[in-house]
């Protein structure tokens, strides 16, 4: 099972200032990042299941993919 990913916590304004982005558009970029990372994890899971890139880490990655997609949709819905 994959646990939460540790990392720094930034307020939206801090993150927007850090990247020079508009706070109103920041949600879209964060949601898109969730989608992109879920696609990468799903691709690696597919390779693992087909025996092309065996990595035990991928055995527990499906819940992470689902959480990333769910979080991206939540961001887009404005929550």
pLDDT tens for each residue of 34-64: 999 999 999 999 999 999 999 999 999 999 9
**Residue 42 within any structural domain of the chain:** yes
Which residues, at least 6 apart from 32, have a Cβ–Cβ distance to it below 8 Å?
Answer: 72
Report yes or no on 48 lying in a domain: yes
Does residue 8 lie within any of the structural domains?
Answer: no
Range of the domain at 49: 22-76
Do the domain assignments include residue 14?
Answer: no
Number of domains in the chain: 1
User: How many CA atoms, within 13 angstroms, populate the side-chain half-sphere of residue 15?
Assistant: 12
What pLDDT is stored for residue 15 in this prediction? Answer: 81
Euclidean distance between CA atoms 10 and 42, whole angstroms: 27
In whole angstroms, give the CA distance from residue 43 to residue 41.
Answer: 5
Instruction: Write phi, then psi, for 11 (nearest 5 degrees).
Output: -75, 155
Q: Is residue 15 part of a domain?
A: no
* pTM of the predicted structure, to 2 decimals: 0.76
| Residue 70 located in a structural domain | yes
User: What pLDDT score does 36 carry?
Assistant: 97
Asked if residue 19 has pLDDT above 60, the reply is yes
Q: How confident is the model at residue 69 (pLDDT cuts 50, 70, 90)?
A: very high
Which of 3-17, 20-34, 37-51 is predicted least confidently? 3-17
* 26: in domain: yes
């Amino acid at each position: 099972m994959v646990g939460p990913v540790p990392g720094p916590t930034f307020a939206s304004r801090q993150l927007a200032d850090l990247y020079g982005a508009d706070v109103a558009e920041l949600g879209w970029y964060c949601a898109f990042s969730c989608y992109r990372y879920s696609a990468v994890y799903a691709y690696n899971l597919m390779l693992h299941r087909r025996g092309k890139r065996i990595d035990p880490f991928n055995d527990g990655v499906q819940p992470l993919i689902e959480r990333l997609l769910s979080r991206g949709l939540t961001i887009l819905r404005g929550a």
